[in-house]
Amino acid sequence: MAIEDTNMEIIKIKKSDWAGGIDKSRKTYHLFGPVKHKNHHIFRQLENNIYPDMEYMSSVLSPKSVLFPQSQKILVTSADASGKACHIFTPPEQDHTPRAVIGIRPCDAKAVQLVKLNFDTKEYQDPYWCSAFEATTFVGLAVNTPSVLDFSTSAGSGPFAQEGLDVLLVDCKDHYLAKILSQKGKEFLNTAGFNEKEDPKAADQVIQQMKISAEKAICSVIQTQHLKKKTVLELYEAPFWEDIAFSCISCGTCAYVCPTCWCFDIQDETQGKTAVRFRNWDTCMPALFTRHSSGHNPRGEKIQRVRQRFMHKLKYFDDKYDQGIMCIGCGRCVEKCPVNIDIRDICNLMNAYKPEKESDAGEIKGEIK
């Protein structure tokens, strides 16, 4: 539950006190955070002597794995035919004790809110994702100097955005200002012993100033304002997909680095006398993703799969949930795509697209292929 701005609380955390508070919080929370790994950063669970590297710029993979591990056991059973409960699947024990993600970027926290729309629905709740979400406190770190690939402000987020965060930390050189955004956030700061209250008005003004200059530093924008009113078929039948898909090598890197991609596969394994059902991250880029056992494949061609990716992110998602696009502008896929496919260009193309003549698009199909 978000705390109203009128009751806003901002805490000052001296950097000299930071490590001590982190250590205190470990007694209650499993901590996750950015850690240097080779020449980049990854998000992972922090052992007792490891501290989140708050100087990090960006992590190769987003922190989505805190709630949605790359590979996760979902069901277990005995495969021993002599036993009684043989072949009766039950979920494995799960750890739902509190966890905190330290230093998550605001746009990555917004991504969690978008992914929530998939895993927490009216009809079904994914118990693994939802329990992990419930157990997690998101302690965000505002981005003072956005990267050249950051287009979060035009993708429904921003370097100081608060959506999805329980605390927003703002790095003010020798200290952090910690803006409390939820009860969970308040509890985390209490547990860590961070309780030096600042005058909320004055501190918030500092934050606002820094926010303005961070947002000004963002040089990359996408246009999305016309996407909503275009029909699915107009965009689907647009002529540019062939060109966009041409260089794609179907590697799926874009999906793995994306904080909003949630597709998964389910696979079984038997080892000795135990059968396990796993779910693993998946990607819509290879043909196998949709291939029927008959061999028929509704997205057998690369152009169909590339189009699926961008139509899902920029059109289907908003049509389904009315929550904007399924992209928060982190820039990871732009940076990591081995053939330089750039979601910003595609979004702008889709947004600006006008079918040449009426018969090109929006036409009701007379027959099923």
Partner 1 sequence: MKNPYTPYPVKIDEIDIATEDKSLKTFKFVFLNKADEDNFSYKAGQFAELSIPGVGEIPIGIASSPIEKGFVKFTVFKTGVVTSHLHKMKTGDVMGIRGPLGNGFPWDRLEGKNIVIIGGGFAFTTLRSSIVYMLDPANRNRFKNIDVVYGARSPGMLLYRDELFEWEKRDDIHMNITVDGTDDPDWKYNTGFVPAVVEAKIPEADADTFAIVCGPPIMIKFTQPALKSLGYQDSQIIMSLENRMKCGIGMCGRCNIGRELVCKDGPVFTLEELNLTPGEF
Binding region for partner 1 (CB under 8 A):
74-75, 77, 79, 86-91, 118-119, 121, 123-127, 130-131, 231-233, 236, 262-270, 275-277, 279, 282, 284, 289-294, 296, 298-299, 304, 308, 311-312, 316-317, 319-320, 364-365, 367-369
Contact between 22 and 91 under an 8 Å Cβ cutoff? The reply is: no
Greatest distance between any 2 Cα atoms in the chain: 71
C-beta of 165 vs 326, nearer to partner 1: 326
Alpha carbon distance 333, 256 (integer Å):
9
C-beta of 195 vs 323, nearer to partner 1: 323
Minimum separation from the CB atom of position 221 to partner 1 (A): 26
C-beta of 130 vs 206, nearer to partner 1: 130
Number of neighbours of residue 291 by Cβ within 10 angstroms: 14
Alpha carbon distance 136, 133 (integer Å):
5
Angle (CA) 85-90-96 rounded to 5° is 145
Q: Please, what is the end-to-end C-alpha distance for the chain in angstroms? A: 48
Contact between 168 and 178 under an 8 Å Cβ cutoff? The reply is: yes
C-beta of 49 vs 82, nearer to partner 1: 82
Minimum separation from the CB atom of position 165 to partner 1 (A): 24
Phi, psi (degrees; rounded to nearest 5) at 184:
-55, -40
C-beta of 111 vs 178, nearer to partner 1: 111
For tokens 């090109």, name the residue. Answer: 360
Minimum separation from the CB atom of position 251 to partner 1 (A): 18
Q: Exposed, middle or buried by CB within 10 Å (0-12, 13-18, 19+), for 10? A: buried
Number of neighbours of residue 179 by Cβ within 10 angstroms: 26
Minimum separation from the CB atom of position 105 to partner 1 (A): 24
Q: In what order do the strands lie in the sheet with 264-271?
A: 71-78, 274-281, 264-271
Minimum separation from the CB atom of position 269 to partner 1 (A): 7
C-beta of 150 vs 234, nearer to partner 1: 234
C-beta of 242 vs 268, nearer to partner 1: 268
Minimum separation from the CB atom of position 226 to partner 1 (A): 18
- The three-class DSSP label of residue 298 is coil
- The three-class DSSP label of residue 73 is strand
Tokens of 188: 């985390």
C-beta of 210 vs 235, nearer to partner 1: 235
Phi, psi (degrees; rounded to nearest 5) at 72:
-145, 130
Minimum separation from the CB atom of position 247 to partner 1 (A): 22
DSSP bridge partners of 33? 44
Minimum separation from the CB atom of position 2 to partner 1 (A): 23
